[in-house]
Amino acid sequence: MWFNEANDSHFFLIPGLIVLVMTIIGAFLTAMVVAREWERGTLEALFVTPMQAGEFLTAKFVPYFGLGMIGFVLCLLAANFYSMSPCVARCFCCVSLQ
């Protein structure tokens, strides 16, 4: 563990919160939408359309990717302004890694 002279735990909690928000929004909600369509029976109706599997997954993933990016930016803003957590990377680097 890195040296933490002031013993401030929020420097370690904020990155964990960002990972948690991105995981819940990105993966969990996308999987729940596909599972809900399977349970309702609308997924079988999509199977008979001329849509490819990649198009279906892209259509389900893109809105939640946008929501995840909004959540990511809000978490970064909260980390910088609310808890005064230092952000040592440039914003472009943070977004491009996502």
Residue 34's identity, in one-letter code, is V
- Please tell me the distance from the alpha carbon of residue 1 to that of residue 39, in angstroms, as a whole number: 46
pTM of the model: 0.62
Average pLDDT of span 4-20: 73
Query: 12 pLDDT band (50/70/90 cuts)?
Result: confident
Model pLDDT, residue 95: 52
Residue type, 29: L
For residue range 41-82, what is the model confidence (pLDDT) as tens digits?
Answer: 888 887 788 888 888 888 888 888 888 888 888 877 877 777
Residue 4 — pLDDT band, cuts 50, 70, 90?
low
Inter-residue contact 9 to 15 (CB < 8 Å): no
Are 30 and 60 within 8 A, CB to CB?
yes
Q: What integer pLDDT is reported at residue 62 of this predicted model?
A: 85
Identify the band that residue 89 occupies on the pLDDT scale cut at 50, 70 and 90: low
Question: What angle (nearest 5°) sits at the alpha carbon of residue 70, between those of residues 30 and 79?
Answer: 120
CA 86 from centre of chain? 21
